Amino acid sequence: MTISTCGKCGGHSFELALFTPIGDSRKLTLVQCSACGVAVGALDPSTGSQIEVLRSEVAAIDQKLARIAQALQEWR
Ligand SMILES: [Zn+2]
């Protein structure tokens, strides 16, 4: 696999950023250069919403774990 290179600064590190287009309520996930911030691509909004679903599932698991931890402490 080749390493992606930023067309502006030649950097090799990229990050994801949430971006809301003007007049649109949906958030797009942009892939941008972490050095200069140039957007090199956008992820499919449906992929983004899948990530949101995963996030809420992780949050739910987190709450359950917190409850289990609390119950364990009450037993002592
Ligand atoms: Zn760059």
Hey, what are 29's tokens? 């996930």
| pTM of model > 0.75 | no
In the chain, what are the domain boundaries? 1-43, 44-76
- Sheet containing strand 14-19, edge to edge, reads 14-19, 28-33, 39-43
Cα(51) to centroid of ligand 1, in Å?
25
Burial of 33 (0-12, 13-18, 19+ CB in 10 A): buried
Cα(4) to centroid of ligand 1, in Å?
11
Per-residue model confidence (pLDDT) at position 66: 94
Q: Tell me: the pLDDT tens digits for 1-53?
A: 788 889 899 999 999 988 888 888 877 888 999 999 999 888 776 666 677 77
Per-residue model confidence (pLDDT) at position 72: 92
Predicted confidence (pLDDT) at residue 62 exceeds the cutoff of 90:
yes
Cα(40) to centroid of ligand 1, in Å?
9
